[in-house]
Amino acid sequence: MTFDTHTTIRLNHRIEKKVREAGSSFYWAMRLLDSEKRRAMYAVYAFCREVDDIADGRDPEPKKLEDLDKWRREIAQVYGGKPKSFIGSALQLVVPQHQLQKADFLAIIDGMEMDAPQHFQITNRSDLELYCERVACAVGRLSNAICGITPDDGDVLAKSLGEALQLTNILRDVAEDAKRDHVYLPDDLLVKNGYVSITPDFAIDDPAIARTCSELSEIAYQQFSAAQTVIRKIGSQKTLAARIMMAVYKRIYDKLLDRGWDRLEQPVSLTKFEKGLLILRESLA
């Protein structure tokens, strides 16, 4: 499917409106990219937001799975040249230009499918790595491709930074996720650290939870360090998006360490001002 200039402009405006209305502070970070990369990032973000909203929504699990499967078919249509949605059409405009891989979009949908059940428990470290690979590393590979990073470096960066960011998300949201019966702390680590069972109630104040969080935080630190090494190798010109994400999440990670793992119900976040300063710092680097 091809689009005339007027249709393309209208489509780009519609995608930007969706991204802007999502309220993400990273909207302004994406605005710092050149117009070509920005449009591609907006399209990928809109897709990710759409499938994430399905997974986190209140619909019954069968309806969520049905809607996610519709997106599998839509991605097939994107690569077949006949998308049906405006997000799919926006993706079709940028996929060939940046050589975005179909497998990465499908991996993201697979990750959302893992999140869809009313009850979700990560069984072991391998399952945790798979979850991070799908919901974070795949997004990183798409982002890195848009930024012109070669697959060799981009895949390494996506794995290390993706795991670091997702582990930070998990560690930040332990209490909130537990309230909706989602436990991302691996069951085998919990048991190793002295937790008897995650059912029928997930006791958030159990010392084993704190020990498990501490163990995962060490892994996150190692991945932040690995990502920093790759970023230095690639250079600052192509890594603005990655550096902004890393700066923001590393600051959240540091705040989590300052708070400690024995007060998981005490929220940790950054103000818009803090995020703005971090984004500005990286944009000037």
Q: Do 226 and 269 have their domain in common?
A: yes
What's the pLDDT tens digit per position in 201-215? 667 888 999 999 999
Cα dihedral across residues 109, 53, 177, 228: positive or negative: positive
Single out the residue in 83, 118, 153 at which a domain terminates: 118
Q: Of 5, 14, 81, whose CA–CA distance to 46 is shortest?
A: 14
Each of the 285 residues of the chain gets a pLDDT tens digit; together they read: 555 565 677 777 888 888 888 777 678 788 899 999 999 999 999 999 999 999 999 999 999 999 999 999 999 999 999 999 999 999 999 999 999 999 999 999 999 999 999 999 999 999 999 999 999 999 999 999 999 999 999 999 999 999 999 999 999 999 999 998 999 999 999 999 999 765 546 678 889 999 999 999 999 999 999 999 999 999 999 999 999 999 999 999 999 999 999 999 999 999 999 999 999 999 998
Q: Do 125 and 245 have their domain in common?
A: yes
What's the pLDDT tens digit per position in 35-58? 999 999 999 999 999 999 999 999
Print the domain residue range for 55: 1-118
Q: What whole-number distance in Å separates Cα of residue 212 and Cα of residue 205?
A: 12
Give the per-residue pLDDT at 200: 44
Give the other-Cβ count within 10 Å of 128's Cβ: 22
Half-sphere exposure of 92 (CA within 13 A, CB side): 21
Q: Do 142 and 278 have their domain in common?
A: yes
pTM of the model: 0.93
Tally the domains of the chain.
2
What is Dmax (Cα atoms) for the chain? 62
Q: How far is CA 106 from CA 69, 80, 102, 149, 231, in A?
A: 10, 15, 6, 21, 26
Give the per-residue pLDDT at 28: 79
Q: Phi/psi zone of residue 125: left (φ > 0), alpha (ψ -120 to 50 degrees), beta?
A: alpha
Q: Do 209 and 74 have their domain in common?
A: no
CB contact at 8 A, 62 and 72: no
Q: Do 167 and 191 have their domain in common?
A: yes
Give the per-residue pLDDT at 202: 67
Single out the residue in 118, 147, 170 at which a domain terminates: 118
Q: What CATH number has the domain bearing residue 105?
A: 1.10.600.10
